């Protein structure tokens, strides 16, 4: 049995004066360097051959089926409608536009889901560690039920068993000027009137002012040790300033109330049931995973830290804010980002209930109409791949940053 | 004057027993009391009607929807279609084949899970290598005098299990190769493996399934056609192997460096080092991770309904469309959810138990 570690390629150690003993030239397959080179060349040529065969076969197949290749189709007219679009889209728009509409809808559901899942997940994660027996058990029950049932099943349940069984538009459930029926959730649309720009300006000015105050307060505390209630001022400014401006300028905001015309509603903003079902299912499912992440993060902060903070005379709220949460976040954020990524990828299940996301619109309808599977699927995959690579870059950056503060 | 020790007084009545427990766990402070009342009210107002609907008011026996009169859940619907939920469209006369395949699977898994059963290694090897062949012959037939059952007839829980088991068994060797390649010192091998893993981990399974069903046929020469099930299996296996590779890498990295160095010092070659020293130790550490990816895969198999395969969820969907049974979709979703939940929950409990059991050892694990 020949060994890899043998005398072969390595230069013998020892003083330079001493003449190296004559090294017998090993057989080239026993030389790790040459062997690995050979192996890699072999791998490359096999891969090259595989890719060549695939591309060759594909081109032949496409030619036989009369499918054109290339990205020209993106500028052609799509000719189909999309149930929900955040930008102007008509049937006369191009296939390229369907890509953008789908992408925006995917981003919309991902952002909505991430916000809801984070709030619900943090509440449940903290609740599971509560010393209230009922609250802790309730949270555990929730987590164990929802994370062990496939997401697709949950989406179907909310869509087919709950939302689609709601009454027709004519028998809508009505409250506060909003309507709920099997076509979705319809609520009055706010219409900014003249003078509303002032409120917007005030809002951004308040944010800028709070930021400056926070900087000033931090500097002052470092110099003099005096503290300033930054959080309260910020809340007061950001809510107060726009509110005061809004009231003083005579409440320049109208409401466009939805009205029942014929069989459907006109006016207002309609949230389609597909979006609601997908949002509920994604948030509820992901919240169960986030709760477990949060729980692990809080448990990872050793009890000595809390005790030390108490010994220093810190209040309970301050201990939580300054000692426990910053240390827990360091453990929580990397898995949390990967949960966000999972949620975004899972939002592609939208296609099963017909929410017009990227997969449904682009990899579905556009693919069927153009037949250009290679281009369409590659573009779709590239979007998700780019998202996931960006997330992992962020995570590496974040990990490197927080590592500095470690003892 | 008495000098004997007085007997200790009993604890206050409100600190022990049921009342003490309630005070300590449910009403220790105003905030907790309010939380208890709110959660308790929610639970009672939600659980009581639900339980009543599921169990007490439900109809269990009958042949048609006429039997469902009591206003509760209509389990008659599920009972009438139970065969479809379990076997899909598999011919009824051949159900015994599925049952045998299932019994062998469950039997060997119980053998592996129970502590102190002998020859676990041999059983595991047989399960990974011989069982897929046996199960394929049983399910597909066309040999040993068994009539052939086309794969488009497979469905229900059978298909779900086929997808999950094949996915995990086939992705294991691929995952091992990828994980070793990712740790290799050869730059080209390493970058090929990293690219492969990151691409598959970066895209949703559904696009992989789309790719497998739409693009895969284009990759092969004319006349070479694939079964729809096989295409889905190829997609799932490629996808899963990337996740498997990361689990295996985690296991490999948990092995102290000294083990690698000791193997080198003994003059073992690369494969000897891996097969004799590293893998036996690492595989033990990987089992919880493998079980966790299996749970994820098991839930993900439900996505095949989007490319037109009839797994257990798709059977439920199809049953809901049956005009004779319109309006009972909640029942079928609950039933399918229960099936998935039982499998996933027991597996996750097992994986947690294993993690605890393995954590007592030494090594550089925290």
Q: What is the 3-state secondary structure (H, E, C) of chain A?
A: CCCCCCCCCCCCCCCCCCCCCCCCCCCHHHCHHHHHHHHHHHHHHHHHHHHHHHHHHHHHHHHHHCCCCCCHHHHCECCCCCCCCCCCCCCCCEHHHHHHHHHHHHHHHHHHHHHHHHHHHHHHHHHHCCCCHHHHHHHHHHHHHHCCCCHHHHHHHHHHHHHHHCCCHHHCEEECCEEEECCEEEECEEEECCCHHHHHHHHHHHHHHHHHHHHHHHHHHHHHCCCCCHHHHHHHHHHHHHHHHHHHCCCCEEEECCEEECCEEECCEEECHHHHHHHHHHHHHHHHHHHHHHHHHHHHCCHHHHHHHHHCCCCHHHHHHHHHHHHHHHHHHHHHHHHHHHHHHHHHHHHHCCCCCHHHHHHHHHHHHHCCHHHHHHHHHHHHHHHHHHHHHHHHHHHHHHHCCCC
pLDDT (0 to 100) of residue A280: 93
pLDDT (0 to 100) of residue B242: 92
Nearest CB partner across the interface for B313, out of A43, A153, A359: A153
Q: Say whether B192 and A47 touch across the interface (CB within 8 A).
A: yes
pLDDT (0 to 100) of residue A11: 45
CA–CA dist B49, B52 (Å, integer): 5
Could you read off the pLDDT of A164-194 as tens digits, one per residue? 888 777 777 777 777 888 777 888 877 777 7
pLDDT (0 to 100) of residue A21: 61
Which two structure tokens, joined as six digits, stand for A293? 């992440």
Q: Is A319 among the domain residues?
A: yes
Do the Cβ atoms of A79 and A305 come closer than 8 Å? no
Q: What percent of chain B has pLDDT over 90?
A: 11
Q: Say whether B43 and A138 touch across the interface (CB within 8 A).
A: yes
Q: Is A31 among the domain residues?
A: no
CA–CA dist B163, B176 (Å, integer): 20
Q: Is A322 on the interface with B (CB under 8 A)?
A: no
DSSP-assigned beta bridge partners for residue A181: A184
* Residue-range definition of the domain harbouring residue A391: 95-167+271-403
Interface residue of B219, B270, B336 to substitute, partner A, most A CBs within 10 Å: B219
Q: Is A346 among the domain residues?
A: yes
Interface residue of B20, B22, B25 to substitute, partner A, most A CBs within 10 Å: B25
Do the Cβ atoms of A94 and A78 come closer than 8 Å? yes
Q: Say whether A149 and B344 touch across the interface (CB within 8 A).
A: yes
Angle at B272 between CA B266 and CA B278, to 5 degrees: 85
Q: Is A18 among the domain residues?
A: no
Q: Say whether B207 and A359 touch across the interface (CB within 8 A).
A: yes
What count of CB pairs under 8 Å joins A to B? 156
Between B110 and A29, the more confident residue is B110
The minimum CA-CA distance between B262 and chain A, rounded to whole Å, is 12
Complex-level ipTM: 0.86
B362 has a pLDDT exceeding 60 = no
Mean pLDDT over B290-294 rounds to: 88
Query: Model pTM?
Result: 0.84
pLDDT (0 to 100) of residue A152: 92
Tally of CA atoms within 13 A in the half-sphere of B263 that contains its CB: 18
CA–CA dist B97, B95 (Å, integer): 5
Between B342 and B147, the more confident residue is B342
CA–CA dist A83, A354 (Å, integer): 9
pLDDT (0 to 100) of residue A289: 93
Residue with tokens 């709920």: A180
Could you read off the pLDDT of A93-113 as tens digits, one per residue? 888 888 999 999 999 999 999
Could you read off the pLDDT of A310-341 as tens digits, one per residue? 999 988 778 888 888 888 888 888 888 889 98
Nearest CB partner across the interface for A44, out of B188, B221, B330: B188
B245 has a pLDDT exceeding 60 = yes
Q: Say whether B264 and A161 touch across the interface (CB within 8 A).
A: no
Lowest mean pLDDT among A2-11, A83-92, A197-206: A2-11
Nearest CA-CA partner of B164 in B113, B99, B239: B239
User: Domains plus CATH for chain B?
Assistant: 77-90+149-358 (1.10.3720.10)
Provide the mean pLDDT of chain A: 82
A75 has a pLDDT exceeding 60 = yes
Could you read off the pLDDT of A15-71 as tens digits, one per residue? 445 555 666 666 766 777 788 888 888 888 999 998 888 888 888 888 887 777 778
The minimum CA-CA distance between B3 and chain A, rounded to whole Å, is 41
Q: Say whether A384 and B203 touch across the interface (CB within 8 A).
A: yes
Q: Is A275 among the domain residues?
A: yes
Q: Is A335 among the domain residues?
A: yes
pLDDT (0 to 100) of residue A19: 58
Work out whether the CA dihedral A4, A10, A12, A15 comes out positive or negative. negative
Residue A125's Cβ-count burial label (10 Å; 0-12, 13-18, 19+) is: buried
Mean pLDDT over A268-290 rounds to: 90
Q: Number of helices (H) and strands (E), helices first, in chain B?
A: 16, 0
Could you read off the pLDDT of A348-373 as tens digits, one per residue? 998 888 889 898 888 888 888 887 88
Residue B180's Cβ-count burial label (10 Å; 0-12, 13-18, 19+) is: buried
Nearest CA-CA partner of A55 in B173, B77, B175, B215: B215
Provide the mean pLDDT of chain B: 84
Q: Is A239 among the domain residues?
A: no
Q: What percent of chain A has pLDDT over 70?
A: 91
Write the CATH number for A395: 1.10.3720.10
Q: Is A8 among the domain residues?
A: no
Lowest mean pLDDT among A35-49, A75-89, A267-281, B122-136: A75-89
Nearest CA-CA partner of A370 in A104, A62, A158: A62
Nearest CA-CA partner of A101 in A79, A84, A77, A76: A84
Q: How confident is the model at residue B361 (pLDDT cuts 50, 70, 90)?
A: low
pLDDT (0 to 100) of residue B147: 79
Instruction: Give the count of domains, chain A.
Output: 1
Q: Say whether B269 and A3 touch across the interface (CB within 8 A).
A: yes
DSSP symbol at B64:
S
Q: Say whether A385 and B203 touch across the interface (CB within 8 A).
A: yes
């Amino acid at each position: 049995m020949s060994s890899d570690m043998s005398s072969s390629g390595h230069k013998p150690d020892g003083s330079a004066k001493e003449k190296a003993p004559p090294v017998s030239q090993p057989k080239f397959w026993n030389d790790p360097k040459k062997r690995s080179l050979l192996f890699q060349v072999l791998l490359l040529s096999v891969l090259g051959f595989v890719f060549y065969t695939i591309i060759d076969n594909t081109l032949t197949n496409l030619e036989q089926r009369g499918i054109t290749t290339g990205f020209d189709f993106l500028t052609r007219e799509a000719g189909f409608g999309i149930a929900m679009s955040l930008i102007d889209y008509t049937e006369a728009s191009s296939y390229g536009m369907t890509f953008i509409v789908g992408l925006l809808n995917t981003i919309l559901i991902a952002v909505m889901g991430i916000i809801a899942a984070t709030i619900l997940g943090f509440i449940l994660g903290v609740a599971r560690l509560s010393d209230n027996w009922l609250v802790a058990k309730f949270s555990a029950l929730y987590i164990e039920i929802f994370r062990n049932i496939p997401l697709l099943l949950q989406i179907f349940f909310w869509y087919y068993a709950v939302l689609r069984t709601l009454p027709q538009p004519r028998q809508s459930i009505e409250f506060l000027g909003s309507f709920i029926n099997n076509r979705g959730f319809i609520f009055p649309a706010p219409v900014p009137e003249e003078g509303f720009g002032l409120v917007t300006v005030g809002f951004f000015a308040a944010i800028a002012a709070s930021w400056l105050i926070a900087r000033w307060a931090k500097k002052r505390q470092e110099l003099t040790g005096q503290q300033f209630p930054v959080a309260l001022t910020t809340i007061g400014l950001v809510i107060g300033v726009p509110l005061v401006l809004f009231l003083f300028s005579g409440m320049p905001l109208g409401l466009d109330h939805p009205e029942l015309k014929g069989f459907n509603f006109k006016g207002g903003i309609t949230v389609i049931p597909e979006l609601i079902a997908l949002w509920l299912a994604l948030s509820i499912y992901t919240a169960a995973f986030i709760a477990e992440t949060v729980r692990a993060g809080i448990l990872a902060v050793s009890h000595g830290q809390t005790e030390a903070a108490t010994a220093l005379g810190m209040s309970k709220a301050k201990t939580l804010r300054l000692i426990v949460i910053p240390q827990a976040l360091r453990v929580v954020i990397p898995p949390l980002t990967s949960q966000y990524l999972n949620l975004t990828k899972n939002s592609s299940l939208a296609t099963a209930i017909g929410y017009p996301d990227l997969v449904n619109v682009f990899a579905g309808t556009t693919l069927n109409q153009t037949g250009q599977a290679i281009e369409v699927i590659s573009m779709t995959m590239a979007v998700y791949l780019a998202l996931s690579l960006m997330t992992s870059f962020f995570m590496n950056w974040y990990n490197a940053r927080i590592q500095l503060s470690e003892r | 004057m008495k000098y004997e020790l007085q007997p200790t007084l009993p604890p206050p009545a409100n600190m022990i027993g049921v009342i003490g427990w309630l005070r300590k766990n449910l009403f220790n402070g105003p905030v907790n009391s309010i939380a208890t009342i709110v959660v308790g009210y929610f639970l009672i107002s939600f659980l009581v009607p639900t339980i009543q609907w599921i169990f007490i008011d439900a109809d269990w026996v009958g042949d048609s929807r006429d039997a469902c009169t009591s206003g509760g859940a209509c389990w008659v619907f599920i009972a009438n279609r139970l065969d479809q939920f379990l076997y899909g469209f598999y011919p009824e006369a051949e159900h015994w084949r599925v049952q045998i395949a299932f019994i062998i699977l469950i039997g060997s898994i119980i053998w592996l899970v129970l502590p102190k059963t002998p020859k676990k290694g041999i059983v595991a090897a047989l399960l990974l290598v011989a069982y897929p062949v046996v199960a394929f012959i049983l399910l597909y037939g066309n040999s040993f005098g068994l009539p052939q059952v086309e794969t488009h007839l497979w469905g229900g829980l059978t298909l779900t299990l086929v997808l999950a088991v094949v996915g995990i068994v086939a992705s294991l060797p691929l995952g091992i190769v990828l994980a070793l390649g990712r740790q290799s010192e050869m730059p080209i091998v390493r970058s090929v493996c990293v690219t492969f893993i990151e691409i598959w981990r970066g895209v949703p399974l559904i696009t992989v399934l789309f790719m497998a069903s739409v693009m895969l046929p284009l990759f092969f020469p004319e006349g070479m056609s694939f079964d729809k099930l096989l295409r889905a299996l190829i997609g799932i296996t490629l996808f899963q192997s990337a996740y498997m590779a990361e689990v295996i890498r985690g296991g490999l990295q948990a092995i102290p460096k000294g083990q690698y160095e000791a193997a080198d010092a003994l003059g073992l070659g690369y494969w000897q080092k891996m097969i004799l020293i590293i893998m036996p130790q690492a595989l033990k550490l990987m089992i919880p991770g493998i079980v966790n990816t299996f749970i994820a895969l098991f839930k993900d198999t439900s996505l095949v309904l989007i490319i037109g395969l009839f797994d257990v969820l798709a059977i439920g969907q199809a049953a809901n469309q049956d005009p004779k049974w319109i309006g009972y979709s909640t029942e079928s979703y609950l039933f399918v959810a229960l099936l998935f939940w039982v499998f996933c929950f027991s597996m996750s409990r097992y994986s947690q138990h294993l993690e605890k059991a393995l954590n007592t050892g030494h090594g550089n694990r925290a």
